[in-house]
Amino acid sequence: MRTAIDAFERAKMTENNAAAYGVLTRILLTEGKLSDAQNAAQRALILSQQTGSRPPHFDAAVAGARVKAAIGKSKGALQDLQGVLAEATKFGYVPYELEVRLAIGEIEMQSGKASTGRPHLEALAKDARAKGFLLIARKATAAAKVQGSSHK
């Protein structure tokens, strides 16, 4: 991912670079590198503000919310994501709407709110499948089962 980021920086592809930093944030969170993830999310946000496009903003906002949840501020992360969800829905960005809903459900599950998160993820899986977004549907189904089982 860092190779892609370097290439995007050299080519001055700001939108792609913002998205890449969003992906890097998620990778770093998975690896437990919270400080690095915070830095990557901040970089995604800065880059997204340099573009006139909504998708980089969505990527950066989701990355930032995931970091916020990882540092124990799930309530704030969920509030942030509700705003992003409203914007993505308003402007018809269906893939981002689904991604944001996935992040909301995952954060709910991770923060011990399985009674809220599981139904959200199950509804998301159904909606995503109906719209042809099978990867998101699979992720939602897995998150409802795997993460839910650890919070029973």
Contact in structure between 52 and 18 (CB atoms under 8 Å): no
Checking if the pLDDT of 146 tops 90, the result is no
Sign of the CA dihedral with 75 first, then 29, 8, and 101 last: negative
Domain count, the chain: 2
Mean predicted confidence (pLDDT) in 131-136:
97
Among 15, 42, 71, residue at a domain's last position: 71
Q: Are residues 94 and 135 in the same domain?
A: yes
Q: Are residues 24 and 90 in the same domain?
A: no
CA distance 55 to 57: 5
151: pLDDT confidence band, cut at 50, 70 and 90? very low
CA distance 113 to 118: 8
Give the list of residues 6+ apart from residue 35 with CB closer than 8 angstroms, or none. none
Domain range for 132: 74-152
Give the pLDDT confidence of 7-40 residue by residue, as tens digits: 888 898 999 899 999 999 999 999 999 999 999 9
Entry pTM: 0.88
Q: Are residues 83 and 103 in the same domain?
A: yes
Contact in structure between 39 and 27 (CB atoms under 8 Å): no
